[in-house]
Structure 1
Amino acid sequence: MEASSSRSRTGSAALKRRRGVGASAGSGSTARSLNDDILRSVFSRLDDHFDLARCSAVCNSWNRIIETAHLMRDLYYKSNPQARCSSSNISMKSYFEELAMDDHASSFSRGPAEVYQWIGHPMRATLCRMKSGSILTGVGDKILRLWSAESCRFMNEYNVPNAKTLVDFDFDENKIVGLTSSQLCIWRRSEPRSIFQSGGASFNHGLCMSYADPEVVIGCEDGRAFVYDMYSRSCSGIYRLHSSPVTCLTITDDHLIVGGSTFGNIAIADQTSGQNLGVLKSAFAPLAIRCLSFNTNSQLIFAGSSPGYAHCWDLRTLRPLWETRVSPNVIYSAHHLPGDTATLAVGGIDGVLRLICQRTGETIRSIVVDADRPAESSSRDRRLIEKKCVRQVAPDARLDNIPRRLRPQITSLSVGMKKIVTTHGENYIRVWKFRPKSS
């Protein structure tokens, strides 16, 4: 009921922004008293796609009116007259995806932001992942915990079997996959106990993993990558990537394994042919690669390294596009929203959350928690959630002048639509939420 009322208020607010709506409803009337014809007329006056989408999400009757009147399609054609031509290759789906990405990038670069912080683990959490509106956190104690990215509500927890220590994990809409130094563990999203544990003979000293159903690729201390098939529950391939430990991994849609090392190189192996395709190198002295992120849309590989450099290579040519020192110290994590080709988020030991341009490597924005502005708090699920303001960090600012409590090291981050979740090696979790500048 509370969620429905909230959606109704959001939709009504979108309607009230249109001139004359209040007069047509009459004093004391509500949106529920309007018949379909009046609502259809009101909805047709909306000229913002997001307002129309919010109205369609209020209730089934509003969604039916908007769908049957083809209002979203008409607004699309109004914004793109060329799309009416049969020769046009612009699809409505791609158009609205582009609108969403523009709104996301604009919110990151110019919009106001606030931070929601809560204690999420008994001891500490060093890693986080965010997908489809859910956040998974852990590593540091013996549990993984799942949260709602929107409400920060606790959803479920998963116990690591045999008191083993996780070193990495990932998840999707159905399952959670965790890596210890010698085993894989798999949970169903709906069950707290693991449903599978792999044997320990396939690999030893696993350091990192990348998961793309049905495969998990494990990077090991000896420089090899093991491909584990979860359906056959066996190792399906072993690849020699480096002569030094594999520090981070990612898998591409073309079945390529990309792995970083402590010596500063990034190796690429093809699962289809079993061959190593090449090595990406930095123009600077050997730099330990600490994190990787691959953009499927642009075929760009991003990395963060120990001296604070952010790197970008083109996977198609295996050539570097830019290398920029964005931080004075280690970058632990770099990530971007799937489909976004504009903004990359990076964080590390100095505790500053930076948003940089994927095309040039230039820093767009640097932010930390603001101590001078009062924070709010609320209680949800018997947990105290603090709402904190943020402030910009000037490019030439001395970080020594910013207290460490306002910029604890960022051990991991993950990007969602207009939000970023961070962990800090402590027991609390932060979600940074961004809004469009005009909102």
Structure 2
Amino acid sequence: MESSSRSVTRSAASHGGGKRGPVSSAPSSSIHSLSADLLGFCFSRLDPSELVRCAVVCKLWNKIIYSSTLMRDLYEKISLHGRSSSNLSVPVEASMKRYFEKLALEQHRLSFLGSSSEVHQWRGHSSRIDLCRLRRGLILSGAEDKVMRLWSAESCKCLKEYFNLNKDAMVDYDFDENKIVGLTGSQICIWTLVSGKGIFRSHEGIFSRGICMGYIDPEAVVGCDDGRAHVFDMYSGRCTRIIRMHGAPVSCLALTEDQLVLGGSNFGTVTVADLSTGEQLALLKSSFSNTGMKSLCFNSHSYLLYAGSTAGYVHCWDLRTQRSLWETRVSPNVIYSMRHLVTDSSTLAVGGLDGVLRILNQSTGEILSCFIMDPCTKLDGSSVSRSPLKIKMKGITIPADTEIHRIPRDRRPPITCLGVGLRKIVTAHNEKYLRLWRFHHSLDGIVNNS
């Protein structure tokens, strides 16, 4: 988000004329002081992925991006189907929005198929980092030191710290534009994202040891080691219901917007239950008896559920039919984390104990690319010498059938958690550092083949 804003600001400055106005004591450099026409001109110089990111900054930018004359001209210039040949019943603004979002998603998909990537690595905490999340250009990391830190995905700089005052370390968390919702071993805690102030803690002792957590306003769900899921109202603090999920610990959770709670177990099964009533609706099973579920990922656009297992399998079910679509063993070891871009139904990022970052086809389970670090290649040696806590290296692809055990462990430390953004992935490795993988692809190939 920051890079897009800086691009807009620089472009506006370069076309603002050479004359200076009268000196004023009030700040006059705010981007909000620019006219709609000038902002439209600046936006027309960005690529689709930057446009999509800028469109969610505020309502004004969204309106300018999808309604200005300059943007319509850009749309008709790069689209093979201009306004004259488009569906006249669809407003031009809506058509533009769909087109640019589709173009950005295609650019995102193709970037993962490249042969290399830039990897930024920096020391994020004084102790091991086991959790990370990526949302709207922001990275949230959590470690054993009971501190969560919010980072800019553009600059990798720390923006804010959040302190866990509980006796237990953070087990799981997630965040949105307003708040952070976290789980310790025995409590749900909430912090405001902007101020960092803790605004809620559930009473201790309400549930046994919590293992995993998910939330959709106004409810948070905790998966516990007794096989039950505890549902909390995040604003009253009350435990509103308890759902029996499994006869084994609930090892991973996912929630859907239509009030379903999905819980995986060490038995290799996933229970589907109604969040509002607690009724069990379905039991999804693996074909392999020696595997337990370690991670879940649900795609609300395709209605597909993905599960990563302790035996290195990734499983896919269609929740509409409750049928298994595919099962692929992508790793010889446990899969700790799986994520995809919210609006993307094509690629799935997978990481686990073997330390290989894999990109899968969501529809088929095919492995599209595999990435590891190339520690011999430092892209900016001068910055490394000045700041040993932050380095920039290269990620390289390896064939999907590579014998992983032959690759040195320092090139593939275990991926304990990952988050996916537009053309980027953040990974945690149960070490003191974070890694941000940046993927690139030329827009020209997309436009020419669209």
Q: TM-score, normalised by structure 1?
A: 0.85
Alignment of 1:189 with 2:193, yes or no, is yes
Q: Does 1:343 align with 2:347?
A: yes
Which secondary structure does the structure 2 equivalent of 1:269 belong to? Answer: strand
> What is the letter of the counterpart of residue 228 of structure 1?
F
Q: Does structure 2 conserve the Cα–Cα contact (< 8 Å) formed by 1:143 and 1:159?
A: yes
**Alignment partners' CA distance in 1, 2:63 and 2:280:** 53
Q: Is the 8 Å Cα contact of residues 116 and 394 (structure 2) preserved in structure 1? A: no
Aligned-residue offset at 1:298: 0.2
Alpha-carbon distance, 1:335 to partner: 0.7
- Alignment of structure 1 residues 152-231 onto 2, 5 Å: 152-231=156-235
If the length of structure 2 is used for normalisation, what is the TM-score?
A: 0.83
> How far apart are residue 303 of structure 1 and its match?
0.9
Give the counterpart letter for 1:86 in structure 2. Answer: S
User: Aligned pair count?
Assistant: 412
CA distance in 2, matches of 1:284, 1:127: 28
Give 2:400's match in structure 1, choosing from 395, 399, 410: 395
* d(CA) in 2 for partners of 1:286, 1:34: 71
Quick check: 337-346 or 200-209, which moved more?
Answer: 200-209
Cα gap change, 1:53 to 1:192, in 2 (>3 Å) = closer
For residues 371-386 of structure 1, the aligned pairs below 5 Å read 371-376=375-380, 378=383, 384-386=389-391
Instruction: State how 1:225-240 maps to structure 2 within 5 Å.
Output: 225-240=229-244
Structure 1 contact 115–388 (Cα < 8 Å) conserved: yes
Alpha-carbon distance change, 410 to 71 in structure 1, aligned in 2, over 3 angstroms: same
Could you say which residue in structure 2 is the equivalent of 1:50? 48
Helix, strand or coil at the partner of 2:102: helix
Q: 1:307: which partner in 2?
A: 311
Shift of 1:332: 0.6
Write the mapping of 1:271-286 to structure 2, written as runs, cut at 5 A: 271-286=275-290
Q: Which residue of 2 aligns with 1:76?
A: 75
Deviation at 1:87, TM superposition (A): 6.4
Question: Do the aligned partners of residues 49 and 123 (structure 1) sit closer, same or farther apart at CA in structure 2, a change above 3 Å counting?
Answer: closer
Q: Distance in 1 between matches of 2:321 and 2:65?
A: 46
Q: Per the alignment, do residues 228 and 43 of structure 1 end up closer, same or farther by CA in structure 2, a change over 3 Å counting?
A: closer
For the residues of structure 1 that align with 2:242 and 2:86, how far apart are their CA atoms? 48
Q: Compute the displacement of 1:164 (Å).
A: 1.9
* SS in structure 1 at match of 2:239: strand
Superposed CA deviations along residues 128-162 of structure 1, whole A, max 9, x for unmatched, are: 11111111111322211111111111011111113
The answer (yes or no) to whether the contact 1:421–1:429 under 8 Å persists in 2 is: yes
> CA shift at 1:344, angstroms?
0.1
Residues 102-140 of structure 1: CA distance to partner in whole angstroms, max 9, x if unpaired?
Answer: 111111123641100011111111111111111111132
In structure 2, the residue corresponding to 1:199 is in which secondary structure? coil
SS of alignment partner, residue 163 of structure 1: coil
Q: Which moved more, 1:364-373 or 1:221-230?
A: 364-373
Q: Which runs of 4+ in 1 moved over 4 A?
A: 2-6, 8-12, 30-35, 46-49, 51-54, 62-69, 87-90
Of 356-365 and 96-105, more deviation after overlay is shown by 96-105
SS of match in other structure, 1:359:
coil
2: CA distance, partners of 1:87 / 1:394 = 44
Q: Paired residue for 2:417?
A: 412
Question: C-alpha separation between the residues in 2 aligned to 1:118 and 1:77?
Answer: 42
Rate the CA distance shift 1:222–1:99 in 2: closer, same or farther, 3 A.
Answer: same
Question: What's the CA shift for 1:239?
Answer: 0.6
For residue 333 of structure 1, the aligned residue among 316, 337, 349 is 337
Q: 1:121 maps to what in 2?
A: 125
What is the CA distance between 1:64 and its match in structure 2? 11
User: Alignment partner for residue 294 of structure 1, among 295, 298, 305?
Assistant: 298
Amino acid at match of 2:48: F
RMSD of the alignment, in Å? 3.4
Q: Residues 5 and 266 (structure 1 numbering): CA distance in 2 closer, same or farther, change over 3 Å?
A: closer
Aligned to 1:16: none
Q: Helix, strand or coil: the match of 1:285?
A: coil
The AA in structure 1 aligned to 2:421 is G
Match of 1:86 in 2: 89
Task: Evaluate the alpha carbon distance shift between residue 3 and residue 139 of structure 1 in structure 2; reply closer, same or farther with a 3 A threshold.
Answer: closer
Task: Mark the runs of 5 or more structure 1 residues left unpaired by the alignment.
Answer: 13-29
Question: Percent identity between the aligned chains?
Answer: 48
Matching residue's letter, 1:238: I
Distance 2:167 2:360 in 1: 39
Aligned to 2:441: 436
Residue-by-residue CA offset, 1:254-288 (whole Å, 9 max, x unaligned):
01000100111000001234311101111122411
Residue 410 of structure 1 aligns to a residue whose secondary structure is coil
CA distance in 1, matches of 2:90, 2:63: 30
Task: Answer whether contact 1:265 1:286 (CA < 8 A) is retained.
Answer: no
| Alignment partners' CA distance in 2, 1:196 and 1:69 | 43
2:86 counterpart SS class = helix
Letter of the structure 2 residue corresponding to residue 211 of structure 1: Y
- Pair 1:299–1:175, CA change in 2 (3 A): same
CA–CA distance in 2 between the matches of 1:352 and 1:4? 30
- Letter of the aligned partner of 2:89 in structure 1? S
Structure 1 residues 294, 367: CA separation in 2 closer, same or farther (over 3 Å shift)?
Answer: same
* Structure 2 counterpart of 1:257, from 261, 264, 269: 261
SS of the residue corresponding to residue 220 of structure 2 reads strand
- The 1:358/1:67 distance shift into structure 2, 3 A limit, reads closer
Mapped pair 1:363 → 2:362: no
Aligned-residue offset at 1:346: 0.3
Letter in structure 1 aligned against 2:71: M
Secondary structure of the residue aligned to 2:99 is helix
Per-residue deviation, 1:437:
4.2
Name which of structure 1's ranges 410-419 and 163-172 shifts more when overlaid on structure 2: 163-172
State the match for 1:108 in structure 2.
112
Secondary structure of residue in 1 paired with 2:405: helix
